[in-house]
Structures are given as C-alpha cells and as structure tokens.
Amino acid sequence: MDENAAEHVQQTVTSYDDPDAPWNREYSPEEMASWNDEVIREFRDNGGRVGGDYEGGTLLLLTTTGARSGNQHVVPLSALYRDEVLYVSSFIEDRYPAWYHNAKADPRVTIELGGEKFAATADVLTGPRYDEFAAWALAENPLLAEYQAKVDKPLPLVVLTRDA
C-alpha cells in the first residue's frame, strides 16, 4: 500500500477484525457479483480515482489472461510500493485469488494506474525472495500482518515490472 493508501486505511480501519472494514461487511450475492465492475467503471471514468471505501487510496487495475480460459480478466487491487517497486497482494480466504493463478501461468499483464495503461511482467515471488519480501511487507503493513497471523497460507506477493 502506498503511503496515502496506508494512511487512509489506518485512519479508518485500525484492525483487520474491524466490523466497518469493507472485507468484514455483509454483501448480497448480487452486490458481490458486480463489485469489481462498479470499481472498474469508476476507476476508468475518473482517471484512476475512486470513492467510497477506497477513496484516498491508490488502486490499479490488473489485467491477466485466464490460466484455464485464456480470457482477459480485470481486477482492482491496491497499488503497493516498496520504494520504487510496485507489488500487489490480497487477503485470501480458503484459496488464492484467480489473478494470482493467472499471473503464475502467464506473467504478461496489463496495468492501469492513474490515467496510464502499460504492459508489465508479473513476478510471483517464491522461496527466499518471497521470505525476504514478505518479512518486509508484514513489518510495514500492520493490517496485512494481522491477517497473515490468522491464516495458514502465505499471502500472495507479486511484483509488477513495467515492460521496456
């Protein structure tokens, strides 16, 4: 999470278990089915800015190619930074998200960030690189660390590098 997004989340949500956190609210199946569609539409209509729960944070749109379907899939994620290194992660439940599996199968992705769209390569971190990066990310992001303490699976960490 970049500094602005981290400040925004920490000002409004102080614990992963906060009942007002977007991930702890109840949503109907219809609301969940269209959730990303609404965020994507607002993002594209407003040059990368969105309101509501994500106002003040920095989102990106990540387009991956489906590992099984071969279709393009777009998902909004928080743009997270380690100095100049752009990376993404997400809270996981019982399984890793589709975007993670897609990036593992085909690392060629498209990123929309602010009003800019560009080709990039997704590097799914594993082994010692994952261990080092995860230690840093968990130390820098208390909400991510609190969540990781509650689940058995390691959080997905994917570095995104703009293609030349």
pLDDT tens, position by position, 50-103: 988 788 889 999 999 999 999 999 999 999 999 999 999 988 777 899 999 999
Q: Which of 24, 88, 26 is nearest to 57 (CA)?
A: 88
Query: Is it the case that residue 112 has pLDDT exceeding 70?
Result: yes
Sign of CA dihedral 38, 36, 4, 161: negative
Q: Are 144 and 157 in contact (CB under 8 A)?
A: no
Which residues share a beta bridge with 87?
80, 159
At residue 35 the predicted structure's pLDDT band, cuts being 50, 70 and 90, is: confident
Q: Which of 83, 79, 85, 86 is nearest to 50 (CA)?
A: 79
Q: Which of 123, 144, 143 is nearest to 134 (CA)?
A: 144
Tell me, what's the pLDDT at 22? 66
CA 91 from chain centre, in angstroms, equals 8
At residue 4 the predicted structure's pLDDT band, cuts being 50, 70 and 90, is: very low
CA 114 from chain centre, in angstroms, equals 15
How many domains are contained in the chain? Answer: 1
> Hey, what are 28's tokens?
């109907």
Q: What is the CATH number of the domain that holds 33?
A: 2.30.110.10
Q: Are 93 and 127 in contact (CB under 8 A)?
A: no
- Residue span of the structural domain in which 51 resides: 3-162
